[in-house]
Amino acid sequence: MRTITTTQELAEYCGQAANHPYITVDTEFLRERTYYSKLCLIQLAMPGTDDSGAVLVDPLVEGLSLEPLYELFRNTSVVKVFHAARQDLEIFYVDAQVFPEPLFDTQVAAMVCGFGEQVGYETLVRKIAREGVDKTSRFTDWSRRPLTDAQKTYALADVTHLRQVYEFLAAKLEETGRHKWVEEELEVLTNPDTYITEPRDAWKRIKTRTSSARFLGIVRELAAFREAFAQERNIPRNRVYKDDAMVELASNKPKNHEELGRARLLLREARKGEIADGILKAVAAGLACSNDDLPQPDRSREKLQVNPALADLLRVLLKAKTESASVAAKLIASAADLDAIAAGARDVQAMRGWRLEVFGNDAKALCEGKIALTAIGNDVKVVRV
């Protein structure tokens, strides 16, 4: 189990990898105590049936530069293969503003190839490679050194079996002509906006039970302060204050430290110092915000007049079409999308791109009364009318 600890070793390995059609990649990281993930280990494997082309890269070694790896990521003649790549890609983008190109995500490909919704790596390895994966080291502390042999074995398994999984899925996509489907899905993963949280937009993730614009204005200011504070100090946002405490603060609108001290859900560390001052300034800013600048809740879905019967028919159609196409239903449309289509909306994901071919065209025809559904045995069939 070879571990690369110098920039020169990494450059030599990446130079060899550049001569192959693909390389498999995985990472181990920690995020419990930081805002940004702490990269602890990188696993790489070149094509082959043994482990001779598989290595571990230790990014915690002082003086090791990852630039040779990033140069390989920019090499468009080598496919970079990940499984469930989002968190890995975020690490590399935050560190060097680089995305692996071209990218292949076996989880996305598996959903397109009929392996179910968000299928796990162990499941794919079991079904395709006919191997088992020992996950006992999954939740160990990857920042501690030295790594144990069990940790190294576990880490390498995440890229060695991935080679067979990739080759099988790539062949399946070639056979079915669905490469474009996967490429459309991966566009989100290689969009910088996927990994950038602007403090001013952080409020949109907060779940509230009120649609008061003034309340949302205070939430916006509190969320912006928390996000900026957490980013600057690289600490988890919940270490500043949690969502339920934010909602409480927006409701109570404390104007001074005495009122702030009455908050039930606020962490002790947030009742004084920089965080307390920031909270009071955020509440004051939300209260002072002009009506024109207050955030407005999205009521577009509330205005939709959903036909429940039609929505149920669309669910049946979706199940029938996805089973016929051997593709995960969740990848095509959510329950909210189906309700929106039943209410007349057409600007939803299910009505664009490859989804239009698989489901969208028939969904529109069903809404317009141009097709009907009938059951033949255990199968649901589409009937033109």
Domains contained in the chain, CATH given: 2-194 (3.30.420.10), 199-293 (1.10.150.80), 308-384 (no CATH)
**pLDDT score of 300 more than 80:** no
Whether residue 31 contacts residue 131, with contact meaning beta carbons closer than 8 Å, is answered with: no
Which token pair is 312? 């149920």
Rounded to two decimals, the pTM is: 0.89
The dihedral through the CA atoms of 236, 240, 245, 247 has a sign that is negative
Whether residue 358 contacts residue 327, with contact meaning beta carbons closer than 8 Å, is answered with: yes
Q: Which residues pair with 79 in a beta bridge?
A: 22
For residues 187-206, give the mean pLDDT.
94
Span 123-181, pLDDT tens digits: 999 999 998 888 788 889 999 999 999 999 999 999 999 999 999 999 999 999 999 99
For residues 82-91, give the mean pLDDT.
97
Question: How far is the C-alpha of 381 from the C-alpha of 89, rounded, in Å?
Answer: 41
Span 337-375, pLDDT tens digits: 999 999 998 999 999 999 999 999 999 999 999 999 998
pLDDT for residue 118:
79
**pLDDT score of 299 more than 70:** no
pLDDT for residue 86:
96
For residues 17-38, give the mean pLDDT.
96
Span 211-267, pLDDT tens digits: 899 999 999 999 999 999 999 999 999 999 999 999 999 999 999 999 999 999 999
333 contacts: CB under 8 Å, gap ≥ 6: 318, 341, 348, 349, 350, 355, 359
pLDDT for residue 303:
61
For residue 234, the tally of other CB atoms under 10 A from its CB is: 11
Q: In sequence order, what DSSP letters do the residues of 115-137 get, joined into one string?
A: S-TT--HHHHIIIII------TT
For residues 40-59, give the mean pLDDT.
94
For residue 147, the tally of other CB atoms under 10 A from its CB is: 22
The dihedral through the CA atoms of 70, 75, 78, 82 has a sign that is positive
